[in-house]
Amino acid sequence: MKNRVLSLFVVLLLLIAVFPFSAAAYVGEIFTEDSGGILITYKVLTEKNGDAPGTVQVGSGSKSAVDSESRAVVIPAAVKGGEYIVTAIGERAISNFPYLRSVSLPDSITVFKDYSFQYCEQLSNINIPASLRSIGEGAFWGCNRLSSFLFPASLTEIKCAALADCNGLVSVYLPSSLQTIEDAAFWHCSSLKTVTFSGMQAPYIGGGAFEECNDKLTFIIPAGASGYFALGDYTSSTEYICSVSGTVLFDGRAISGATVTSSDGKTAKTADNGKFIINNLISGNYSLTVSMRGYSDETKALTLGDANITGFDFELSRNMFEVKYLPGNDGMGDSFSEEKALGIDLTLSENTFSRNGYSQSGWAVSEGGTLAYELGSVYSSDADITLYPVWAALPFEYTIKYKSGAHGTGAETYQTKTENVPAKLKGEMFKREGFTQTGWALSDGGKALYKLGDTYDVNSDAVLYPAWVEVVVPPTPEPTPVPIPEPTPVSTATPVPTPTSTPKPVPTSTPAPSPVFSPVPTTSPAQAPVSTPAQAPVSPDIKVTAVAAPAPVLAPEQKPDVEAKLSSTPEAAAPTGTPAEKESPAPIISEKHDMPMTNYSNNFEYIFYLVSAVLVAGVAYYIYNVVRKLKIRRK
């Protein structure tokens, strides 16, 4: 019994050594896994430890993790059957995706690494994980379609230029957990109007964090909060820090529409009653400058606490009116003004602002309003006016990509199709040996859906592959053997002289008589035909053996010609064997058989396991015999 147990143990050890077992992934390993039909690349961050799963990030850290043509990406919470949790979006993992519109992320993600979503210009829908702690440098730089961004309560840092140039952002709410906003974090968010802080203590705010945002940007902070003075303008959610108010008069009459500017740059407009109020001032000395078109500016010093400033006297000066141009919430470009003199027409500015996907068609008197003035038209009214661009949507453009596929050769190209405008597809572009391109298919190896040069009128992007048709070359026909009849037996004694190019003169006028010969057949004499020089009947079923007959009487001058003829055609003079077999041998026809392809790798694997099994059995049997012999010796 012990010998059997020992043998089984040895066999088990050999099986463990021969047959490999899967090993856990190592830190830094890169692998791919399908998610909703899209292959996503992952990189192992920490290994699995017992029952505790390991962690991975999306992307290898150096290049995109998914196909750049994807429109929607869903990142799972776990991969490899739950053995690894997805905790980060790696560097440049989903950056520079021109078609990406939607990203779904699990709450297990805690970090967006540097440039993780940079320049995804069509990205408009993304759910921010509830456990997110850090947004890396340039993570969403240039994501113009993002109109909102929900910062979770777990967030602690927003790194340099993390949301720079996100022109679609209108407002953001920053949680109290936030500790750091690095330099240029929200730089050039031109539509950003409201930033709300929820922390009682301001986070660290780097230089230019909100530089070049909307000129109406307002910061809202909790009442009683501290540390926010470096922001410039801000508004408390329940009360103002300080304010100053007054009245602007001219000759005792209230002046409406005048602009009052404090020495720190805060402004207010006077109402119909001449009243104004400036909020968010810090204790100190100020000067107020009152200006209005058609009047000279007036400046007055004050100390914070003067709540009612009146009695400003203005002297009439040349009447000038302001025409102000603003880009609005959707436009891009700097606002500017022009002056219009009393009674003189002003030619309005041409297109000066821009907007992605739109062209400017004119000017409106309110944001989002209807067309009031054409570009370059004349403004005649003697009054201030503020103008906003009127936008006209540009036709959407789609991309048609031409790929060579797995078998074709040739460079990939692109073609642009304008919305609602048919596009003419390209002609033959790719080559494949033994095939010709007949059209375009929607998949590699698919059937032709479009002909070469056909019209494409679908309003969507497309990826087209060449449709191939094999060029069938007709095979070279094998020569058909032509049966050759048995040659007419020719007697060696009846050669027909062949005239030469230089005939010899015959000295005698009487030619020698032509002899008559009878061939001697090997078969019955009744079947032997009579041969003459003029007629030789064909007898394919009779084998003839030429028998010399009495030499004919020839003229001396003819003998050399006969000998030359006989010497030049020995086969005709002395046939041997069967003439058809000798002159036209049977053609050799070779047949081609297509050998079936064999999966050699699988056969090798089966052979490997079979040999291993035989080896294990042989070793086990050998050990068993050794143990048995030892036992016999002991006895």
Which of 45-49, 275-279, 573-577 comes out lowest in average pLDDT? 573-577
Q: Is residue 271 part of a domain?
A: yes
Q: Is residue 566 part of a domain?
A: no
pLDDT digits (tens, 9 = 90+) for 311-358: 555 554 546 788 999 998 888 888 998 988 777 899 999 878 888 888
Residue where a domain terminates, one of 359, 393, 427: 393
- State residue 211's pLDDT score: 85
Residue 584 has pLDDT above 50, yes or no: no
The candidate with the shortest Cα–Cα distance to 112, out of 87, 130, 149, is 87
Same domain, 337 and 386: yes
For the whole model, what pTM was predicted?
0.40
Q: At 280, which CATH number? A: 2.60.40.1120
Same domain, 387 and 401: no
Task: Tell me how far CA of residue 374 lies from CA of 323, 328, 364, 368, in angstroms.
Answer: 15, 17, 9, 15
- Provide, rounded to the nearest whole percent, the portion of the chain with pLDDT above 70: 70
Question: Beta strand pairing status for 204-205 and 180-181?
Answer: parallel
Q: What is the mean pLDDT of residues 18-22?
A: 45
The candidate with the shortest Cα–Cα distance to 255, out of 208, 310, 303, is 310
Residue 155 has pLDDT above 70, yes or no: yes
Q: What is the CA radius of gyration of the chain?
A: 51
Same domain, 402 and 466: yes
Same domain, 386 and 425: no
- State residue 88's pLDDT score: 96
The candidate with the shortest Cα–Cα distance to 90, out of 56, 74, 62, 113, is 113
Same domain, 422 and 377: no
Residue where a domain terminates, one of 470, 489, 504: 470
- State residue 554's pLDDT score: 46
Which of 158-172, 244-258, 334-348 comes out lowest in average pLDDT? 244-258
Number of folded domains that form the chain: 3
The counts of H helices and E strands in the chain are 5, 39
pLDDT bin (cut points 50, 70, 90) of residue 388 is very high
Q: Is residue 37 part of a domain?
A: no
Cβ atoms of 216 and 192 closer than 8 Å = no
N residues, the chain: 635
Q: Is residue 609 part of a domain?
A: no
Task: Tell me how far CA of residue 497 lies from CA of 102, 171, 237, in angstroms.
Answer: 101, 119, 133
Residue where a domain terminates, one of 451, 470, 489: 470
Cβ atoms of 307 and 313 closer than 8 Å = no
Cβ atoms of 111 and 132 closer than 8 Å = yes
Q: Is residue 506 part of a domain?
A: no
Q: At 332, which CATH number? A: 2.60.40
pLDDT bin (cut points 50, 70, 90) of residue 578 is very low
**Domain that residue 330 falls in:** 320-393
Residue 134 has pLDDT above 50, yes or no: yes
Residue 551 has pLDDT above 60, yes or no: no
- State residue 547's pLDDT score: 45
Q: Is residue 441 part of a domain?
A: yes
**Taking the mean position of all CA atoms in its chain, how far away is CA 619?**
55
288-306 residues labelled b (16+ CB within 10 A) or e (exposed): bebebbebeebeeebeeee
CB atoms within 10 A of CB 320: 15
Cβ atoms of 89 and 162 closer than 8 Å = no
- Please give the Cα distance from 160 to 194 (Å, whole number): 20
477 or 309: whose pLDDT is higher?
477
208 or 53: whose pLDDT is higher?
53
Q: Is residue 145 part of a domain?
A: no
Per DSSP, the three-state class of 3 is: helix
421-437 residues labelled b (16+ CB within 10 A) or e (exposed): eebebeeebbebeebeb
Q: What is the mean pLDDT of residues 139-159?
A: 93
Residue 279 has pLDDT above 70, yes or no: no
- State residue 549's pLDDT score: 46
Q: What is the mean pLDDT of residues 258-286?
A: 78
Strands annotated E in 253-326: 253-254, 259-262, 267-269, 275-279, 285-291, 298-303, 320-325
Q: Is residue 46 part of a domain?
A: no
Same domain, 339 and 278: no
**Taking the mean position of all CA atoms in its chain, how far away is CA 27?**
29
Q: What is the mean pLDDT of residues 200-213?
A: 84
Per DSSP, the three-state class of 597 is: coil
